[in-house]
C-alpha cells in the first residue's frame, strides 16, 4: 500500500493548474447512460474514482475510451442494469447510476454504496424521490431493486427533499429528464457541480430550468442524444492549494479555476489575513510578510462554506495565531483527521460536532493514517509545514479525489514522495 513521505518546513511558491472537478465529472459520466449516442467529455480528471466509474459503465455495456485528453462514452451500447457490489463498494457515487438506468430502461439493480466512511449518508432521499416518480423499489440483500410497470416510464412529480442532498438532487434530476411530464425538485442542492450537470443534460436535449437554485423544474423528453461537454474546474482542489500556500507562508497562483464558486473559502482566507486576488480563470494567494490568523468555520450547504474544505481549514487553524472553532453541520463523523493531527502536536479539542483549535506550540512530523479523502489532504498540508518527516499511510483515499497531488506540490517546492510498500 502506497505512502507519502514528506520532509516538512517548506514554503510553497509558484503556479499550479487545477484539474476538472471530480464531484462534477462523476454524475456527468453517469448521465451518459441516458443518451442514445456517444458523448465526449473534456477536462475530466484522471482519478481513482473516475477509473471506478469507467469500469462500472463498461460493466453496464457502455463503450468507454480515452482519446488523448477526451473521454468518450457511448451510452447507446448500455444493455445491462446491474451495478455490482464489487464496483459500487469502492465509491458511493456509484448510486448515481440508479436514476439514469430506471429512467431509460425502466429497471435497475444497484448495490448499496461505499466510499469515504464519514457518516451514514443514506440513500433514502434518492429512493423516496424515484418512488414519487412511479418506481417500485425494494432494498434487499444489499441491493436497491427498482422498476416501473411494464411498458411505462417514470412520470413527473413534485418532490420536496427534507434535507439538502447533492446526490439525491443529481439522481432525481437525471431521472426526470426522461420521465413523462414535469418534475419539480424543491429544496434542491445548489452546488456549481449541479449546474454543470444540468448544462450537460441540456446539451443532450433535456429541458431544465432553475439549476443552481433550490427549485429545479424538468420537463421530460422522449430521448436524449450524445453531446460534447466540459467539466468545470475543481473548486475543492483549488481551495486545498490556496490553503497550502497560506499555511506555508508562501504564495501560489491557481490557474484554470473559477473564483465565483469559491467565495465562502476566499472570504475565510481573507479573514485569515491572506492576500487574495482573483482574475477570470485564476486565483492568487500570498502570505508573505503576513501573520496567519485562526478563523471560525461552520459548514453549510452551498452557497455556504463547503464541508469538503473543513479538514483543510482545521489544519490551517492548527498553525495560525489565536483560537478558532470549526463546526461541522453536514456530516456527523467528519473529524477523523483530528486524532492524527494531535499525533503531530496539534492543539485541538473535540466536543460533539465542533473542534476547538488553540495555538499549537510545536508541530512535528509523525506517522499518520488517512481516513478519508479530505482528511488525507489536511494531513499532507500539515506535514509540509511541520518539523521533520511525516509519513501518511492509506493514501489511496487522496488518489480518489486529487490528480497526482504529490507532483503538483513538488513543483511548488514541497518535499513529498510516493513510496510503494
Segment 133-156, tens digit of pLDDT: 999 999 998 899 999 999 899 999
Q: Does 113 show up as a binding residue in the annotation?
A: no
- Contact by Cβ (8 Å): 326, 300: no
Q: Can you tell me the distance from the alpha carbon of 330 to that of 164, in angstroms, rounded to the nearest whole number?
A: 9
> Would you say 405 is a known binding-site residue?
no
What is the domain-level CATH number for residue 305?
3.65.10.10
Q: Is 334 annotated as a binding residue?
A: no
Higher-scoring residue by pLDDT: 122, 81:
81
Give the domain-ending residue among 228, 252, 267.
Answer: 228
Whether residue 4 is found in the same domain as residue 150 = no
* pLDDT above 60: residue 118: no
pLDDT-derived band of residue 117, with 50, 70 and 90 as boundaries? Answer: very low
Any bridge partners for residue 218, and if so which? 183, 208
Show which residues are catalytic: 116
State whether 217 and 239 are in the same domain: no
pLDDT of residue 339: 96
168 and 303 assigned to the same domain: no
DSSP 403: S
Q: Is 308 annotated as a binding residue?
A: yes
* Residues 71 and 206 placed together within one structural domain of the fold: yes
Mean pLDDT of the chain: 96
What kind and span of H or E run contains 147?
strand 143-147
- Closest CA relative to residue 251, chosen from 388, 413, 362, 377: 413
Percent with pLDDT over 90 in the chain: 91
Residue appearing with cell numbers 491557481 = 254
Based on the structure, what is the number of domains in the chain? 2
Give residue 35's pLDDT.
98
The CA distance from 413 to 74, in Å, is 41
Residue 416 banded pLDDT, cuts 50, 70, 90: very high
Average pLDDT over residues 348-377: 95
| Average pLDDT of span 268-296 | 98
Q: Does the pLDDT of residue 89 top 90, yes or no?
A: no
- Locate 256 and state its grid cell: 484554470
To which residue does cell 448499496 refer?
112
221 a known binding residue? Answer: no
What are phi and psi for residue 65, nearest 5 degrees?
A: -145, 140
Q: Are 241 and 387 within one domain?
A: yes
Candidates 63, 12, 69, 88; CA nearest to 403 is: 69
Residues 13, 24 share a domain? no
What is the arrangement of strands in the sheet containing 389-393, beginning at the earlier edge strand? 367-369, 389-393, 3-7, 415-419
> pLDDT grade, residue 122 (50/70/90)?
confident
What is the reported pLDDT for 333? 81
Q: If pLDDT is split at 50, 70 and 90, which confidence band does 392 have?
A: very high
Is 121 flagged in the annotation as binding?
yes
Residues 52, 66, single domain; the answer is yes
C-alpha cell recorded at residue 87: 464496483
Q: Which pLDDT value is given to residue 121?
A: 55
**How far is residue 280 from each of residues 156, 190, 237, measured CA to CA in Å?**
39, 22, 17
pLDDT over 70 for what percent of the chain? Answer: 98
Same domain for 266 and 372, yes or no, is yes
List, in sequence order, every beta strand (DSSP E) within 220-274: 228-230, 251-255
pTM value > 0.85? yes
Residue 205, domain extent = 20-228
pLDDT number for residue 120: 53
More confident residue, 404 or 142: 404
Domain boundary among 166, 199, 228: 228
CA distance 96 to 403: 22
* Residue 225 in marked binding region: no
> How far apart are alpha carbons 301 and 303 in whole angstroms?
6
Please report the beta strands in 148-231, taking only residues with DSSP state E, as ranges in sequence order.
Answer: 158-160, 182-186, 207-209, 215-219, 228-230
Do 277 and 300 belong to one domain? Answer: yes
Which of these ranges, 89-93, 227-231, 415-419, has the smallest mean pLDDT? 89-93
| Residue range 10-66, pLDDT digits in tens | 999 999 999 999 999 999 999 999 999 999 999 999 999 999 999 999 999 999 999
Q: What is the DSSP letter of 181?
A: S
Stretch 385-409: mean pLDDT: 96
Q: Which of residues 202, 228, 254 is at a domain's end?
A: 228
- Confidence at residue 114, expressed as pLDDT on a 0 to 100 scale: 57
Mean pLDDT value of segment 4-13: 98
For residue range 310-324, what is the model confidence (pLDDT) as tens digits?
999 999 999 999 999
* Residue among 12, 18, 11 at smallest CA distance from 238: 18
pLDDT at 90 over 90: no
Instruction: Name the residue among 178, 192, 175, 164 with its Cα closest to residue 129.
Output: 175
DSSP structure string for 306-335: -GGGHHHHHHHHHHSBS-EEEE--S-TT--
Cα–Cα dist 238/389, whole Å: 25
> Both 400 and 253 in a single domain?
yes
Q: What is the pLDDT of residues 198-250, one digit of tens each?
A: 999 999 999 999 999 999 999 999 999 999 999 999 999 999 999 999 999 99
Residues 61 and 193 grouped into a single domain: yes
265 to each of 19, 48, 343, 380, how far by Cα in Å? Answer: 18, 26, 27, 19
Which residues make Cβ contacts (< 8 Å) with residue 210, sequence separation at least 6? 188, 216, 217
pLDDT value of position 116: 47
Task: Consult the annotation and say whether 268 binds a ligand.
Answer: no
pLDDT band at 92 (very low <50, low <70, confident <90, very high): confident
Where is 33: in which H helix or E strand?
none
331 has pLDDT over 90: no
Question: Does 215 carry a binding-site annotation?
Answer: no
Cβ contacts of 146 within 8 Å, gap of 6 or more: 98, 101, 102, 107, 108, 109, 110, 127, 130, 135, 136, 137
Q: Are residues 27 and 11 in the same domain?
A: no
Amino acid at each position: 500500500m502506497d505512502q507519502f513521505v514528506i520532509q516538512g518546513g517548506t514554503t510553497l511558491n509558484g503556479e499550479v493548474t487545477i484539474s476538472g472537478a471530480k464531484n462534477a465529472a462523476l454524475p456527468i459520466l453517469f448521465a451518459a447512460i441516458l443518451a442514445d449516442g456517444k458523448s465526449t467529455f473534456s477536462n475530466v480528471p484522471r482519478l481513482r474514482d473516475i477509473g471506478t466509474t469507467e469500469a462500472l459503465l463498461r460493466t453496464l455495456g457502455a463503450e468507454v475510451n480515452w482519446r488523448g485528453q477526451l473521454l468518450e462514452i457511448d451510452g447507446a451500447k448500455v444493455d445491462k442494469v446491474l451495478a455490482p457490489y464489487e464496483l459500487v463498494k469502492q465509491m458511493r457515487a456509484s448510486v448515481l447510476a440508479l436514476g439514469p438506468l430506471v429512467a431509460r430502461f425502466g429497471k435497475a439493480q444497484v448495490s448499496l454504496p461505499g466510499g469515504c466512511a464519514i457518516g451514514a449518508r443514506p440513500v433514502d432521499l434518492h429512493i423516496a424521490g424515484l418512488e414519487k416518480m412511479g418506481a417500485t423499489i425494494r432494498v434487499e440483500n444489499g441491493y436497491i431493486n427498482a422498476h416501473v410497470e411494464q411498458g411505462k416510464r417514470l412520470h413527473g412529480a413534485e418532490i420536496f427533499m427534507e434535507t439538502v442532498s447533492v446526490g439525491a438532487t443529481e439522481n432525481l434530476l437525471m431521472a426526470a429528464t426522461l420521465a413523462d411530464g414535469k418534475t419539480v425538485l424543491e429544496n434542491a442542492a445548489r452546488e456549481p457541480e449541479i449546474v454543470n450537470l444540468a448544462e450537460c443534460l441540456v446539451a443532450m436535449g433535456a429541458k431544465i430550468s432553475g439549476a443552481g437554485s433550490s427549485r429545479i423544474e424538468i420537463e421530460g423528453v422522449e430521448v436524449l442524444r450524445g453531446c460534447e461537454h466540459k467539466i468545470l474546474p475543481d473548486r475543492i482542489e483549488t481551495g486545498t492549494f490556496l490553503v497550502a500556500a497560506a499555511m506555508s507562508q508562501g504564495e501560489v497562483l491557481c490557474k484554470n479555476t473559477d473564483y465565483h464558486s469559491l467565495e465562502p473559502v476566499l472570504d475565510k482566507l481573507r479573514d485569515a489575513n491572506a492576500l487574495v486576488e482573483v482574475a477570470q480563470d485564476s486565483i492568487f494567494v500570498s502570505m508573505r510578510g503576513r501573520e496567519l490568523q485562526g478563523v471560525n468555520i461552520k459548514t453549510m450547504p452551498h452557497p455556504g462554506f463547503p464541508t469538503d474544505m473543513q479538514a483543510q481549514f482545521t489544519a490551517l487553524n492548527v498553525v495560525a495565531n489565536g483560537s478558532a472553532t470549526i463546526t461541522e453541520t453536514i456530516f456527523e463523523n467528519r473529524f477523523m483527521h483530528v486524532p492524527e493531527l494531535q499525533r503531530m502536536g496539534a492543539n485541538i479539542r473535540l466536543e460533539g460536532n465542533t473542534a476547538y483549535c488553540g495555538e499549537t506550540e510545536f508541530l512535528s512530523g509523525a506517522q499518520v493514517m488517512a481516513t478519508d479523502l479530505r482528511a488525507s489532504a489536511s494531513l499532507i498540508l500539515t506535514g509540509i509545514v511541520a518539523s521533520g518527516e511525516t509519513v501518511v499511510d492509506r493514501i489511496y483515499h487522496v488518489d480518489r479525489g486529487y490528480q497526482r497531488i504529490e507532483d503538483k506540490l513538488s513543483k511548488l517546492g514541497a518535499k513529498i514522495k510516493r513510496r510503494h510498500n
